[in-house]
Structure 1
């Protein structure tokens, strides 16, 4: 259970001005990053959280654990933030909740951000991180990949590249409101967290001089066959809801076993506020349980 339960309307009222100020396309991305890191202090991690700063795939990363862990499996976590903001610091609490639920270390990668490092820098970093985990002795089917928003899209793009280039399949994909086609223009101007001008600025910054039809940039346009079991969560009121339901439909049509949780009354990546909101804590536990089951040895996994 969360440390402190607050009514959802109270949390929404508090978050609304925060995100309006913080995710503003008129602010330099450097300022947005600083504001996000500063604001993350309100996102409390579970008791017993241990954070170790490491290097992974040539990039800084955090290895997050809570209590005793099994090091025979791990989660590679790719944070959200429109490929332009966000860091292991902003997503430390979410990583800790997943570490607690899975009983495994969660590795949060500090991949390179746009516009300084446009596509495919983030994907290259994610690929290098996964391959280094394999070099450490983790089998690919003992590494789950999870991410939120842009990090969810990056997770899907990584799984496609691992399949196509390396013949590897992660244990599972855990996707929180994944942004899998940055070409798609939202039909509304904003939800509680994301607004259209900011998301378009992020999409342009990430693409740079690239090709928007490249499936590494927009993995929803790619071949989804042969991907691992996938979990997707989205709230009905967020801008990415329609894109997420399309992804789920196309995954299932491609024969990928897919679990989909649709919430109502939450907000984009509410898992970051799991310490404050019981419904957010519940769906965070649900994702953690999905990943935990996927990371269990094959002979002991639940069937069905």
Structure 2
């Protein structure tokens, strides 16, 4: 279905009451998940999208392409949702727009969620999924990027650290949208933004941590070593609850000597990229990530097509 473009104030005004309802610490997680899945179909797919249900590392996954279905490069996309909600359905549209803009196949992963599966279950799933793309799907590690939003962005950064250190696998790049890189932090400039509120975020962080150590860099990658990681694109809205920790992340990535493409959006909210099918500014942000990813992959002139 073709995208339609709506005025930014209208989209923001429509989203605010929905997020206040759905991201509510008083609701059971199963209800929060159901509400997000019910709303997912209003975020349309680009024309030419092909979605194929599959598995990665034993977890449900989707393989998404737009246009050509055989691509020499891939993106492993890790959805947001504070490690407790979110699904293949909620991020299908964003993944499809990223597939179009990056000219890659995008794999979305249904990694295990808390509180049923606290840390490190999601990290283990993401590492295993990347490893399988390299071992069984014909991609070399430098032709697979990691991407994610919010909790999925933090998970992507933690996954890259684990892959480099424990697996000697070096992803092509990181594309991080408003990454939640220190879930245990209680510092925030205010109590809520258009999408996220502190009480809900703190409750989800505790559910994800379980009995773990909040200083564990697998849980809070901002607190760990950031050297030797792939080049990263980081997007953030300046009015977000997470803005201070993402500014700190960008500074640490730059200091560590990693290539960094950092963009601040004064008018966009937390992971506005999800609205790429209805908001021109969000579509432009996804296009920026896609261009970064295309430039980060090695030349495909002598590459081969993978699945």
Same fold, TM exceeding 0.5? yes
Q: Partner of 1:60: helix, strand, or coil?
A: strand
Cα distance in 2 for residues equivalent to 1:284 and 1:296: 20
Deviation readout 1:180-212 (Å, 9 max, x if unpaired): 000112231100000000000110000001111
Describe the SS at the equivalent of 1:17.
helix
Gaps of 5+ in 1: none
SS for the counterpart of 1:106 is: strand
**Residue aligning to 2:293:** 291
Q: How does 1:103-122 map to 2 (within 5 A)?
A: 103-122=103-122
> Which residue is 1:6 aligned to?
6
Q: Could you tell me which residue of structure 1 aligns to residue 182 of structure 2?
A: 181
Q: In structure 1, what is the Cα distance between the partners aligned to 2:113 and 2:166?
A: 23
* TM-score (normalised: structure 2): 0.95
CA root-mean-square deviation: 1.3
Residue in 2 aligned with 1:235? Answer: 237
Q: Deviations over 1:53-103 (max 9, x none)?
A: 001011000001111144321100000000000011100000000111122
Write the distance in 2 (CA, Å) between the matches of 1:10 and 1:218. Answer: 35
Superposition map of 1:1-304 within 5 A = 3-136=3-136, 137-185=138-186, 186-297=188-299
Matches of 1:187 and 1:205, distance apart in 2: 23
Is the CA contact (8 Å cut-off) linking 2:142 and 2:298 kept in structure 1?
Answer: no
Q: Do the aligned partners of 1:70 and 1:103 also contact (CA within 8 Å) in 2?
A: no
CA contact (8 A) 2:102 2:289 kept: no
Q: Aligned partners of 2:69, 2:174: CA distance in 1, in Å?
A: 20
Runs of 4+ aligned residues of structure 1 deviating over 4 Å after TM superposition are none
Equivalent pairs, count: 299
Runs of 5+ in structure 2 lacking a partner? Answer: 303-307
